[in-house]
C-alpha cells in the first residue's frame, strides 16, 4: 500500500480558495473549533406517500466535529435518515435543525447553499456516467463555482489519495464497483464539507481499501468535519475509537451510548 | 468563486452528453423554420405587392378617347392631354404611343394586325397624386368639355377585389407565422421535458451537491439553443433556396404585378432574423419549462 499523504495537504492546495460565499478554508477551520450542535432532530417522522411511517419520533442531536456510525438492520430506515440529513427529503413532521437553522420550513431557494456544506457518499454511488472519474470528483467544486485553475491540483491529489490517480480519465462504466465507490467518496470529500454523510461507503472495497477510506474519513473528521457513516460493518465501527453510535430499529432511534441525548455531550467530557 | 449562482463553464457543459443532436427536435425546428420563413416571405412579398397596388397602380387612371372619327379622336386626345396636364393633383399625363398600342394589342390581333381602318381608342395614362373622388370628378368635368367621347377608368376600381385578396393572404401569412411560433414553443417544451427525464439522475446529483435551479436550467438552455440554432439555420437555408428558385420562376413570367413580389434586402434581413428569434424563443421556453419542472423537486 502506498504511503498516505496527510489529507490536510490535499486541502492545503486549496487553502485560501473560498469553499462557500465569503468563507475560506481557514475560516471554516476556525468556525469548527467552536463546539455546538450541527444536527438536531425533534420528534421527526417520515412517511412516503400514504404508507406507514418509515421513521418515527426521531429525537437526537449531533455535535460539530463528531464521528457517528449509524447502524441497524436492513429496512430500519438508515437510508431514509441519511436522506433527511443530506436534504434529499423533508420530514413529514417534526423539526430538523441543520447548521443552526430550521431546514423543514426553509425556503427551497436556500437549500443549495446548505447542500454545498454537505458531502454525500450514496449507497449506489450515483456517479455521472458520461463524465470521467476526474470530472465526477470535480463536480462539487464546479457547482460551487471554484475556478478551473484551482480544481486540477486538488482533484488529482484526491484521486491519488483514494488510489485512482491512474484512472482519472476513466468513465464509471469502465471502473470496478470498488473503484466507483472510491470515486464517489473522493467526490463527497473534495469540497471539504462540514458534514459528511456516507451510506455503506466501504461495502464494495477490500479490507485494505476499507481501512484506507476510513482513514480518509478520520482525517477529515480531525480537520473538523462531522462524519455520519451508515454501515453494517462492526469491524469498521470498532476501528474509530472516538466514534459514537446511533442505532436505528424499525424507524426509531436507539442511543446505546447516550451520546445523542440533549444537550449533546462534548467529545472531551 | 463568484457567488452561489455562477454560470457553469466549458467543463461543466459536459454534464449533459454533447456532440450529437438531441433526437428529432432540431429537425422539427428546421421544418417549422422552413415553413415560417416561407410564410413570412409570402407576407412580406404580398406587402410589397399591396404597396405597389396602392401607390403605383391604385392612383392611376386610364382615359380612353372613343371617338370613331380619327381626326376628331386625335383632336380630342390632344385637348384632353393638354387640359389634364394643367389640373392640380395630377402628377403625370402621358398618351400611349402608336407602337405601345401595337404591343398591347399584339396578343389579340397578332403582329401587324393593327390596321389603319380599325378604330382604336386613344389611351391616356394619368398618374394622380391621390385618387380622391374629388380629383376624379374634376377630371370628368374637364374631359366632358374638351373630349366628350372620353371614358375614365379608375384602376383601383377593378383592382379592389385583388387588393382585398392580397390583404387576406397577408393576414393568413401572419397567422401562419404565429402558429409556427406556437408549434415551435410546444416542441421545445416537449423536448425540454424529455431531456429532463433522460438526465434526471444527473440533475438529482447536481441538486444534492448544491447546484441551483438556474445552474441546471442553463445547461439545458444551452443544449436546446444549440439544437434550435441548427434547426433554424437548416430551415432558413432550405427556405431561402426555395424562395430564390420561386423568384427566378416569377421573373421568367415578366409580369409587373407578380414581379413586385420580389423581396428587397430589408425583407431578407427580417427573414434572416427569424432563426435568431427562434433560438431566443427556444431558450426562453426551455428555461421556463426546466425551472418549472425543477421547482417540483426538493
| Residue range A230-256, pLDDT digits in tens | 988 777 788 888 888 888 888 888 765
Positive or negative: CA dihedral B127, B133, B138, B140 = positive
Report whether pLDDT(A267) > 80. no
Torsion angle of C-alpha atoms A72, A73, A79, A84, degrees rounded to 10: -40
Q: Which of the residue ranges A210-219, A248-257, B237-246 has the most confident prediction, judged by mean pLDDT?
A: B237-246
Are B1 and A139 an interchain contact pair (Cβ–Cβ within 8 Å)?
no
Give the pLDDT confidence of B51-106 residue by residue, as tens digits. Answer: 777 666 667 888 998 888 888 888 999 999 998 888 888 888 888 887 888 787 77
Q: Which residues of A touch B210 (CB under 8 A)?
A: 112-117, 140, 143-144
Q: Which residue has the cell 404611343?
A: B97
How far apart are alpha carbons B37 and A104 in whole angstroms? 52
Contact A103, A112 (CB under 8 A): no
Burial class (CB in 10 A: 0-12, 13-18, 19+), A8: middle
Residues contacting B236, CB < 8 A, separation 6+: B33, B34, B37, B271, B272, B274, B275
State the ipTM, two decimals.
Answer: 0.80
Q: Are strands A252-254 and A244-249 parallel, antiparallel or unpaired?
A: antiparallel
The shortest C-alpha distance from B20 to chain A (Å) reads: 14
Q: Which residues of B touch A116 (CB under 8 A)?
A: 209-210
> Which candidate, A160, A236, A166, places its Cα nearest to that of A198?
A236
Instruction: Check CB contact of A194 with chain B, cutoff 8 Å.
Output: no
Q: Which residues of B touch A148 (CB under 8 A)?
A: 9, 11
Q: Which residue has the cell 389640373?
A: B87
pLDDT at B22: 63
Would you give the DSSP letter of residue A108? G
Instruction: Check CB contact of A76 with chain B, cutoff 8 Å.
Output: no
pLDDT band for position A194 (cuts 50, 70, 90): very high
Instruction: Check CB contact of A137 with chain B, cutoff 8 Å.
Output: no
How far apart are alpha carbons A119 and B75 in whole angstroms? 104
pLDDT at A264: 45
Report whether pLDDT(A188) > 90. yes
> Which candidate, B49, B52, B82, B48, places its Cα nearest to that of B65?
B82
Are B206 and A139 an interchain contact pair (Cβ–Cβ within 8 Å)?
yes
Report whether pLDDT(B3) > 60. no
pLDDT at A17: 41
Are B11 and A142 an interchain contact pair (Cβ–Cβ within 8 Å)?
yes
Would you give the DSSP letter of residue A23? B
Report whether pLDDT(B48) > 80. no
**Which residue on chain B is closest to A86 by alpha carbon?**
B208
Q: Which of the residue ranges A92-101, A213-222, B132-141 has the most confident prediction, judged by mean pLDDT?
A: A92-101
Are A142 and B14 an interchain contact pair (Cβ–Cβ within 8 Å)?
no
Q: Which residue has the cell 391621390?
A: B130
The shortest C-alpha distance from B278 to chain A (Å) reads: 29
Residues above pLDDT 90, as percent of chain A: 43
Instruction: Check CB contact of B210 with chain A, cutoff 8 Å.
Output: yes
Instruction: Check CB contact of A186 with chain B, cutoff 8 Å.
Output: no
Report whether pLDDT(B273) > 70. yes
Q: Establish, for the pair of chains A and B, how many residue pairs have beta carbons separated by less than 8 Å.
A: 76
How far apart are alpha carbons A24 and A105 in whole angstroms? 28
Contact A226, A38 (CB under 8 A): yes
Contact B126, B92 (CB under 8 A): yes
Amino acid at each position: 500500500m502506498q504511503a498516505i499523504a496527510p489529507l490536510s495537504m490535499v486541502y492545503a492546495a486549496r487553502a485560501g480558495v473560498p469553499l462557500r460565499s465569503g468563507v475560506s478554508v481557514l475560516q471554516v477551520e476556525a468556525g469548527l473549533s467552536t463546539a455546538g450542535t450541527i444536527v438536531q432532530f425533534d420528534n421527526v417522522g417520515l412517511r412516503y406517500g400514504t404508507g406507514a411511517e418509515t421513521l418515527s419520533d426521531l429525537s437526537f442531536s449531533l455535535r460539530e466535529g463528531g464521528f457517528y456510525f449509524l447502524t441497524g438492520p436492513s429496512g430500519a430506515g438508515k437510508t431514509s435518515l441519511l436522506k433527511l440529513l443530506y436534504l434529499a427529503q423533508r420530514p413529514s413532521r417534526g423539526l430538523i435543525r441543520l447548521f443552526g437553522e430550521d431546514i423543514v420550513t426553509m425556503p427551497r431557494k436556500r437549500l443549495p447553499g446548505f447542500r454545498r456544506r454537505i458531502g454525500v457518499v450514496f449507497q449506489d454511488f450515483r456517479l455521472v456516467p458520461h463524465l470521467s472519474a476526474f470530472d465526477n470528483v470535480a463536480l462539487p467544486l464546479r457547482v460551487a463555482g471554484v475556478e478551473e485553475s484551482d480544481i486540477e491540483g486538488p482533484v488529482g491529489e484526491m484521486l491519488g489519495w483514494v488510489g485512482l490517480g491512474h484512472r482519472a480519465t476513466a468513465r464509471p462504466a469502465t471502473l470496478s464497483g470498488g473503484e466507483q465507490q472510491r470515486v464517489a467518496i473522493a467526490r463527497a470529500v473534495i469540497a471539504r464539507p462540514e458534514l459528511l454523510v456516507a451510506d455503506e461507503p466501504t461495502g464494495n472495497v477490500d479490507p485494505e481499501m476499507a481501512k484506507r477510506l476510513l482513514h480518509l474519513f478520520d482525517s477529515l473528521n480531525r480537520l473538523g468535519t462531522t462524519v455520519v457513516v451508515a454501515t453494517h460493518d462492526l469491524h469498521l465501527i470498532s476501528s474509530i475509537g472516538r466514534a459514537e453510535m446511533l442505532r436505528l430499529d424499525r424507524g426509531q432511534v436507539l442511543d446505546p451510548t447516550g451520546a445523542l441525548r440533549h444537550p449533546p455531550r462534548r467529545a472531551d467530557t | 468563486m463568484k457567488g452561489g449562482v455562477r454560470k457553469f463553464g466549458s467543463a461543466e457543459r459536459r454534464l449533459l452528453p454533447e456532440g450529437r443532436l438531441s433526437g428529432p427536435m432540431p429537425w422539427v425546428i428546421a421544418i417549422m423554420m422552413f415553413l415560417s420563413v416561407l410564410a413570412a416571405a409570402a407576407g412580406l412579398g404580398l406587402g410589397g405587392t399591396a404597396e405597389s397596388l396602392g401607390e403605383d397602380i391604385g392612383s392611376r387612371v386610364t382615359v380612353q378617347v372613343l371617338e370613331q372619327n380619327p381626326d376628331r379622336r386625335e383632336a380630342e386626345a390632344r385637348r384632353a392631354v393638354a387640359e389634364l396636364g394643367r389640373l392640380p393633383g395630377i402628377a403625370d399625363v402621358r398618351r400611349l404611343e402608336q407602337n405601345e398600342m401595337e404591343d398591347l394589342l399584339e396578343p389579340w390581333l397578332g403582329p401587324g394586325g393593327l390596321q389603319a381602318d380599325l378604330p382604336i381608342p386613344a389611351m391616356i395614362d394619368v398618374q394622380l397624386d391621390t385618387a380622391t373622388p374629388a380629383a376624379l370628378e374634376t377630371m370628368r368635368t374637364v374631359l366632358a368639355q374638351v373630349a366628350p367621347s372620353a371614358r375614365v377608368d379608375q384602376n383601383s376600381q377593378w383592382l379592389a377585389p385583388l387588393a382585398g385578396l392580397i390583404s387576406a393572404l397577408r393576414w393568413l401569412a401572419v397567422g401562419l407565422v404565429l402558429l409556427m411560433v406556437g408549434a415551435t414553443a410546444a416542441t421545445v417544451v416537449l423536448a425540454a421535458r424529455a431531456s429532463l427525464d433522460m438526465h434526471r439522475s444527473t440533475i438529482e446529483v447536481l441538486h444534492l451537491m448544491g447546484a441551483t435551479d438556474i445552474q441546471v436550467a442553463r445547461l439545458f438552455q444551452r443544449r436546446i439553443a444549440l439544437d434550435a440554432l441548427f434547426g433554424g439555420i437548416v430551415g432558413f437555408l432550405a427556405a431561402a433556396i426555395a424562395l430564390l428558385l420561386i423568384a427566378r420562376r416569377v421573373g421568367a413570367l415578366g409580369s409587373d404585378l407578380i414581379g413586385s413580389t420580389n423581396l428587397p434586402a430589408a425583407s431578407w434581413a427580417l427573414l434572416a432574423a427569424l432563426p435568431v428569434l427562434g433560438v431566443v424563443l427556444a431558450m426562453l421556453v426551455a428555461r421556463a419549462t426546466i425551472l418549472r419542472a425543477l421547482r417540483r423537486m426538493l
